[in-house]
Structure formats: C-alpha cells, structure tokens
Amino acid sequence: EDKVVQSPLSLVVHEGDTVTLNCSYEVTNFRSLLWYKQEKKAPTFLFMLTSSGIEKKSGRLSSILDKKELFSILNITATQTGDSAVYLCAVVSNSGYALNFGKGTSLLVTP
C-alpha cells in the first residue's frame, strides 16, 4: 500500500526563523510529488516535483526531491505569521491521477 509520511506533525517557530518540512514516501511506480498549503479552506498549490535534485523556488519557499532516498523537503526562509498553515505533501503514481496525501505538518509562526 502506498504511504506518505510527513514530519514533524506540528511545529511552532518565531517570525524570521527558517523551517524545513519533510515528506517521505513509499509509492509503487512514483510519478510526481506535490506540495500544498492549506489555511482555513482548501489547499493551494505550491510545487510539483518530478525529478531528483532540481530545486523549485517561489519567493521564500523552495522544495527539492530525492527519488533515490524517497523524500522531499519544503523550506521556508524568513518565516512570517502568514505562513502559518497546514502544509500537505501528496504523491501520484503511474496507476492514475489521484493524489495520495500525507497527514500534513501544522506550522504556527508566532510574532
């Protein structure tokens, strides 16, 4: 059975800190890994990763995938209170298009 494990489950940091969120997976016929940010409503798309070692960057957020060790990290630098959210990692296998989500990391950034 496919598995997506995120760590830590929750995290509290001060504004300005840098955080690293982890996502490891066991998926048959892996195709892609996606990161989403979920605040009060539905998830918003952050990144999609398909190749190892290529960093994707958007402002203070960046992410990279390691297909050999089967994990991805999401980095947030100079955190702000608006970064407080649940960050979800999901993987897609070649068997279809469904997203298999991890349980998420709940990030709280305090002023």
Partner 1 sequence: GAVVSQHPSRVICKSGTSVKIECRSLDFQATTMFWYRQFPKQSLMLMATSNEGSKATYEQGVEKDKFLINHASLTLSTLTVTSAHPEDSSFYICSASEGTSTDTQYFGPGTRLTVL
Point out which residues bind partner 1 (CB under 8 A). 31-32, 34, 36, 41-45, 48, 88, 92, 96-104
Amino acid letter for position 2: D
Closest distance of CB 70 from partner 1, Å: 17
- How many Cα neighbours within 13 Å face the side chain of 70? 13
Contact (Cβ atoms closer than 8 angstroms) between residue 23 and residue 72:
yes
Coil, strand or helix: which one is 43? coil
Closest distance of CB 17 from partner 1, Å: 24
Whose Cβ is closer to partner 1: residue 78's or residue 98's?
98
Closest distance of CB 92 from partner 1, Å: 4
Whose Cβ is closer to partner 1: residue 82's or residue 96's?
96
